[in-house]
Structure 1
Amino acid sequence: MMKFNIKPLDRSLQPAVREKIDNLTKPKGSLGRLEELAEKIALILHTLSPILKHPHNVLFAADHGILEEGVSVSPKEVTWQQLSHFSKGGAGINFLCEQHGFKLVLVDAGVDYDIPKGHGIIDMKVRKGTRNFLHEPAMTKEELELCIERGASVVKEIHRTTGCNIISFGEMGSGNTSPSAVWMHLFTGIELEKCIGAGAGLDTPGIRHKYEVLSKAVANYSGGEDPESKIAWFGGYEMAMAMGAMMQAAELGMIILVDGFIMTSVILAATQFYPQILDYAIFGHQGDESGHKRMLDAMGARAILHLDLRLGEGSGAVCAYPIVESAVRMINRMDSFQSVNVTKYF
């Protein structure tokens, strides 16, 4: 599989960062999570005066063979219809990107539809949807490798042409909470039933059916014990592409804003190869999908927001951006006690 040079954070600057934050005109620790975020951002960008540059949200779309088993209320055609909708500017992620200054990049990773050219959608289609992992691997290892390479190439080009240093990732793929739940189960050891939720809106019998299908799929697994085999067997093209994109972003020293349940499962999968990728991750929100908090807890992660979102698309990550921006403004704009001759009052 494609290799990445993801280095653990250089923490040599940490004492100076903490000293700067602690000497701003406020009681020590009084700005809470903003102080934690400012420290992490300063370490990722390795500077006492971090600047966020040209934020992007890359949305990967693909279809899933497991949808044949009735594990989602969303029909398959919704994937290409929504991807087309994104390109026209009227969806949820569009207004959020517009509001917070994100450039939205759309990528067809494996949609089961011939997307017409001229809509601003990058064609990186590997295949028209994955295979049904109840019966066979969703993708081959060669397809997984291709996804990783293509996802990485998208980030590399964004970084090269714009200087972007903070990036989020979204997804569109009917049924993709199913592969996400299986990845969560396999890579955390949490019981599968606790990893499965309503997705786009399943009722209680629907959730039970989803559990039964995924349980059988896991029981049918006959691949290797290595993470690459498990990711290929149960994954989605958009998920694998996002994984390659995240790993490339970490190699380039970019801040990764992680979205909801599906993108959290993607970075969880990436930690199977590069645990240090979490050094570059800021988790935007804790979603409403059952299991998301458990997965965050398993990685020792804490999200900025909890707004009961379950839209996907990168919406939670982009929604959290103003908080990240506030942390950066704090470390750059607040006066120190020394600079304004205020006595420390803590």
Structure 2
Amino acid sequence: MTTPWWQQPVVPLDAGRLAQALAREAQLTKPAGSLGRLEQVAVTLASLQRRGAPSLERIWISVFAADHGIAVEGVSAFPQEVTGQMLANFAQGGAAISVLARHLGAPLELIDLGLAHEIAPLPGVRHLNIAAGTASFLHGAAMTAAQCDAALRVGQEAVQRAVEDGAELFIGGEMGIGNTSSACALSALLLDQPVSELVGLGTGLTALGLRHKSRIIERAVAHHRPHANDAFETLRRVGGLEVAALAGAYVAAAQNGLPVLVDGYISTAAALCAVRMNSDVRRWLLYSHRGAEPGHRFLLQELDAEPLLSLDLRLGEASGAALAVPLLQAACRLHNEMATFAEAAVSGSLV
């Protein structure tokens, strides 16, 4: 039996570069540990990038868009037409991630995996049309195995383009009405936790809407739990096309030696899928922020992740990850450009 591509080995960390980076941090003109997690991030990036001087000057952002059939069950405050409308807004440069990508000088790749409502082709958007969105996962699977595999490969191909462009960091984003419901169902199945602890307001539901959303997801999770026996099957049953693309991208990034900065709730659900599909992917994932959705913190705990920011974000699109990039860039510059005690002619070390 052929091993799936996502189970192929990932690039190992460079233990020599890790030791070198730790030694340099110990000699910089500051008290040991005084830059906190910025020191840890710089050292981690040095080992991931296999270089003495970590660098994050070339950032690649791919945003994956797709619709979710579960939206027809009334779990969102917005209609599915909004996915296509927001994709057009991305393409026109008016979305939050469009603004942040320009601010970072990063390319912004837009990928339409499949919308429920057909739209005219948009300039600069890759329209793939794997399906007209997913099916409702209330009583059946969201995707066929072939659709899920195709979506995973979309993420793999996005990473390949990033690598060919010389990217030093990959960021994935998402857009899809109903995708917090998908992330909640994924979290409930992968973490074996009650939906009531994970469900959130998503795009702005009322209290009544939240209760309805919770009941729908609880019914769906109960239906799929006996059959969700591995990460791929769980993803296929209650995931989304864009969530699968993110998971595929994370695996492919690790296989290509490209560090990843994970965005918010949806992206972290995809990250857990990726780690369950290939456990060695975990070491290649950095986490940008802790979002406002209740389920996000449980996912982060499971992944033993410490995000850089906590700003009560719930937008998605890769916006939180983009906001964290300057912190990572600063960590690299501090590591690379601060003087050592010897260079500054400072006696001893600061403790």
Question: Which bracket does the TM-score occupy, shorter chain normalised?
Answer: over 0.9
Look up the equivalent residue of 1:338 and give its one-letter code. A
Deviates more, 1:233-242 or 1:292-301: 292-301
Q: Deviations over 1:47-85 (max 9, x none)?
A: 121122420111000000000111110210000000000
Give the aligned residue type for 1:342.
V
Instruction: Tell me the distance in 2 between the aligned counterparts of 1:185 and 1:51.
Output: 37
The CA deviation at 1:295 is 1.4
* Residue in structure 2 matched with residue 121 of structure 1 by the alignment: 125
1:316 and 2:320 correspond: yes
Counterpart residue type for residue 238 of structure 1:
E
Contact 2:32–2:350 (CA<8 Å) still a contact in 1?
no
Cα contact 2:11–2:256 (8 A) shared by 1: no
In structure 1, the partner of 2:76 is 72
Structure 2: give runs of 5+ residues left out of the alignment.
none
Distance in 1 separating the partners of 2:200 and 2:290: 14
- 1:57, 1:103 within 8 Å by CA — same for their partners in 2? yes
Using structure 2 for the length normalisation, give the TM-score.
Answer: 0.95
SS of equivalent to 1:12: helix
Identity %: 36
Per the alignment, residue 40 of structure 1 pairs with 44
- In the alignment, structure 1 residue 188 sits paired with structure 2 residue 186: no
Preserved CA contact (<8 Å) 1:165 1:253: no
Residue of structure 1 equivalent to 2:280: 276
Asked if the contact 2:313–2:320 (Cα under 8 Å) also holds between the matched residues in 1, the reply is: yes
Counterpart Cα distance in 2 of 1:33 and 1:102: 24
CA distance in 2, matches of 1:345, 1:324: 24
Which range moves more in the overlay, 234-243 or 184-193? Answer: 184-193
Q: 1:203 to 1:88 in 2, by over 3 A?
A: same
SS in 2 for 1:223: coil
Secondary structure of the corresponding residue to residue 13 of structure 1: helix
Cα gap change, 1:118 to 1:230, in 2 (>3 Å): closer
Name the CA distance, whole Å, in 2 between partners of 1:229 and 1:165: 31
2:86 pairs, out of 79, 82, 96, with: 82
| Equivalent position amino acid for 1:187 in 2 | L
Q: Is the 8 A contact 1:42 1:49 kept in 2?
A: yes
Pairing 1:214-253 to 2, within 5 Å after superposition: 214-221=217-224, 223-253=227-257
Aligned ranges 1:292-303 → 2 under 5 Å: 292-303=296-307
2: CA distance, partners of 1:60 / 1:270: 16
**Structure 1 partner of 2:176:** 173
Q: Which amino acid aligns with 2:315?
A: L
Query: What is the aligned counterpart of 2:64 among 40, 47, 60?
Result: 60
The aligned amino acid for 1:327 is: A
Return the match for 2:263 from 259, 267, 271.
259
SS of 2:129's equivalent? Answer: coil
Q: Per the alignment, in what secondary structure is the counterpart of residue 134 of structure 2?
A: coil
Which letter does structure 1 place at the counterpart of 2:305? A
Task: Give the letter for the 1:103 counterpart.
Answer: P
Partners of 1:21 and 1:218 in 2: how far apart?
47
More displaced stretch, 68-77 vs 290-299 = 290-299
- Structure 2 contact 189–228 (Cα < 8 Å) conserved: no
Contact 2:143-2:237 at 8 Å conserved across structures: yes
Which of residues 201, 208, 212 is equivalent to 1:205?
208
1:13 to 7, 17, 29: 17
- The one-letter code sitting in structure 2 at the alignment partner of 1:108 is D
SS of the equivalent of 1:109 reads strand
Query: What is the CA-CA distance between 1:116 and the residue it aligns to?
Result: 2.5
Q: 2:167 aligns with which of 156, 164, 167?
A: 164
Q: Report the TM-score when normalising by structure 1.
A: 0.96
- Kindly state the Cα deviation for residue 118 of structure 1 after the two structures are TM-superposed: 4.9
